[in-house]
Structures are given as C-alpha cells and as structure tokens.
C-alpha cells in the first residue's frame, strides 16, 4: 500500500509543473507536455514487461528494479540542465506506473481469496490517495523551491518505498518463471512509441503530412505483427485471445477511453489555470492552486471506489459498464472460453 501511494505521488509530479518547466527551459507548452508524455509512454511499455517478469518467483526483484529506476529518474530530473535530460528522467519515473499490478499480484499470492479482493481494492484506493496528495504537495514545494525541489522530494519518497520493500516483502514468491517474449515487447514498444510521437507532434507536423501518415501506417503494421506473434506463441507478453471475452474487451476498451480522456484533461487544466489573465482566458493562478485543482478528482476517485461494492450489489456490474456480463455467466469461468494457445486447456487458476 505504501509503495502504491508513494509511487502515485511521484507520478503526479509532471502535470502541475508543465508551465514552470516550459518557462524555465525556454520550450513551448506543447514541448513541455513531454514531461507527462514521457512518463506515460514508459509506463505503458513497462507495465506488460513487469507483469510478465513478475509472473513467477521474482516479484520483489521486479519491484526493487522499478523503484531504483524511478529513484534514478527523480535524481536525474532534479539535476538536469536541459529539457532533454529532464524528459529522460521523467521517462525513468514512468517505470513506476507498472508497479501497481505487481503489488496486486503479490497480494494474490500472499492472501486468501477472501482477503485478496479487499487488498486489491485498497491498493487501488492507495494509488488514488497518493495522487491526490501528490498534486498539492509537489506544487507547494515547486512554488517555493522551483520544480527541482519537487523532484528531490520524489527521490526521498521513492527511497522510503525502496526501504520498505527490502524490509517487508518476501524475497521469493510462489509460481514458475516463463520465457520472456522479447519479440513481442519490441514490436509492441515500436507501435506504442510511433503512435505517441504522432499524437504529440502531429499538430506541428500537420495530421495529413506524409510524416504523420507514414508513422501511423508503420505503427498499425507493427501492431498487426505484434498481435499475430502473440497468437502464435505459447507464453505471450499479453494474452490477445482474451479479447474474445466480451467482459474483458469491454473493460479494456472503457479503461482505454478513460485514460485518453484523463491524458487530454490533465495538461489542459493545468495550463488553463496558470495562463495569465492578460491572455484573455487564463486564471493566472499559482502552481500551488493548479495542484489543488486536482484534489477533488482524487477524492472523487476514492469516494467512488468505496461505493463500488454497494453499487454492484444493488444495480449489478452490467449497469456500471455496458455489455459486461454478470459474474454468474462470466466467460472466463466457462469452458467455452477456457482455452490456451494451440488449443491447450488452461487451468482455472491460470
């Protein structure tokens, strides 16, 4: 729980600092948004890789490695003398975004099934609380000690999380290690990077330019190569076959759309609040106020998570996310869907 909360605090470092970083490093706001994009991009790539590496006996080792990378990223950002180095540091910090699924996997391996559900829900809430605390705390530090002070604060919190992991988490976990899908990681990473670059730079390149269209086409081709490869091997990086499950597909699609909305929401609100009033549309507020703007969002996330059990008991899961089947008819529990690559039957636990 502490790791989830502390890493969430570090992940919140980017958004409130975009305008001040852009002014300090003399870059445009669109370029300054790479302090957020770099972390999200590396997090998107790190999450499946860390999930696969932690699917066995190496859960604590994966967490330690990720926290060391985040710590190095915080120090690098705090000591940076140029925007490129700062963006690199933020990319290392984004590795921490893959920690939450690994902590959930540890909870599943250490607790009984009855306690696992509460533990996973609590981990999710811890991340929401950490982000809610991170926005105002880092904004307050940046207000009085510039943005480098916020990154030093992040380094301290990550060092604390690393100490807790070494002292508390078991060194070994149950499970068996499987071969890592390097080709799947390479093709998926290439596709994700290509799409991210187009989304970030397409406005300046023009969306219909040869560069934008060519990179999009290349990313789509790499996505197809990745999907075909994942369907062909026994131990894929991501089990693409689960997309046949309507519940899984609907949940993944909903999460993707929510994530896109949040990515568009965060930098726009931060920049809008801090833009001077003389521009005709900004509020001219301080960096501290821009951080406080996100506190209701975090508290709302926390409150919603506490209401989920009562809501689903009263109205059911299908009313929360349309097209999700009820638990009594959940396809993963049905023999129709319980198949592994090459038609091999997978265990209920798998």
347 has pLDDT over 50? no
**Quick one: CA dihedral 203, 207, 212, 216, positive or negative?**
positive
As a dihedral over the C-alpha atoms of residue 33, residue 99, residue 95, residue 180, rounded to 10 degrees, the angle is: -130
pLDDT band, very low/low/confident/very high, at 341 (cuts 50, 70, 90)? very low
Task: Give me the chain's average pLDDT, please.
Answer: 80
16 has pLDDT over 80? no
Q: Give domain 2-181+233-343's CATH architecture.
A: Up-down Bundle (1.20)
* Mean per-residue pLDDT, 135-159: 85
236 has pLDDT over 80? yes
**What pLDDT is recorded for position 113?**
78
**What pLDDT is recorded for position 222?**
94
Total Cβ atoms within 10 A of residue 300: 12
Q: Where are the domains of the chain?
A: 2-181+233-343, 182-232
> Which of the two residues, 167 and 268, has the higher pLDDT score?
167
**What pLDDT is recorded for position 205?**
86
345 φ, ψ to 5°?
Answer: -75, 130
25 has pLDDT over 90? no
Q: Kindly report, residue by residue over 93-129, the tens digit of the pLDDT.
A: 989 888 888 888 888 878 887 788 778 878 877 777 7
**What pLDDT is recorded for position 190?**
92
**What pLDDT is recorded for position 174?**
67
Give CA–CA dist 128/11, Å, rounded. Answer: 11
Q: Kindly report, residue by residue over 304-318, the tens digit of the pLDDT.
A: 877 877 887 888 777
61 has pLDDT over 60? yes
Contacts of 234 (CB under 8 A, 6+ apart): 340, 341, 342
pLDDT band, very low/low/confident/very high, at 32 (cuts 50, 70, 90)? confident
């Amino acid at each position: 729980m502490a790791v989830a909360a502390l890493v969430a605090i570090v992940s919140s470092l980017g958004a409130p600092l975009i305008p001040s970083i852009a002014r300090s490093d003399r870059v445009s706001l669109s370029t300054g948004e790479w302090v957020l994009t770099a972390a999200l991009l590396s997090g998107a790539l790190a999450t499946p890789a860390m999930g696969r590496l932690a699917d066995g006996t190496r859960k604590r080792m994966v967490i330690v490695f990720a926290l060391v990378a985040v710590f190095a990223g915080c120090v690098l950002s705090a000591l940076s003398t140029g925007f490129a180095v700062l963006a690199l540091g933020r990319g290392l910090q984004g590795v921490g975004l893959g920690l939450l699924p690994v902590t959930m996997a540890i909870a599943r391996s250490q607790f009984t099934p009855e306690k696992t559900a509460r533990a996973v829900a609590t981990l999710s809430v811890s991340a929401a609380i950490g982000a809610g605390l991170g926005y105002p705390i880092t904004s307050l530090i940046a207000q009085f000690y510039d943005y480098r002070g916020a990154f030093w604060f992040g380094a301290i919190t990550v060092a604390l999380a690393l100490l807790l992991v070494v002292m508390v988490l078991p060194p070994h976990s149950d499970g068996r290690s499987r071969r890592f899908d390097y080709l799947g990681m390479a093709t998926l990473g290439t596709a994700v990077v290509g799409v991210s670059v187009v989304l970030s730079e397409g406005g300046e390149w023009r969306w219909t330019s040869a560069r934008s269209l060519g990179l999009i086409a290349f990313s789509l081709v790499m996505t197809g190569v990745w999907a075909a490869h994942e369907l062909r091997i026994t131990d894929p990086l991501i089990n693409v076959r689960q997309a046949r499950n309507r519940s899984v597909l609907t949940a993944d699609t909903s999460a993707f759309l929510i994530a896109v909305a949040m990515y568009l929401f965060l930098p726009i609100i931060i920049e809008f609040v801090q833009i001077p009033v003389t521009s005709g549309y900004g509020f001219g507020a301080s960096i501290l106020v821009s951080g406080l703007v996100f506190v209701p969002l975090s508290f709302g996330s926390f409150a919603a998570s506490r209401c989920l059990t009562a809501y689903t008991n009263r109205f059911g899961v299908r009313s929360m996310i349309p097209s999700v089947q009820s638990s009594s008819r959940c396809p993963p529990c049905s023999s129709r869907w319980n198949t592994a690559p090459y038609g091999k039957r997978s265990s209920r636990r798998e």
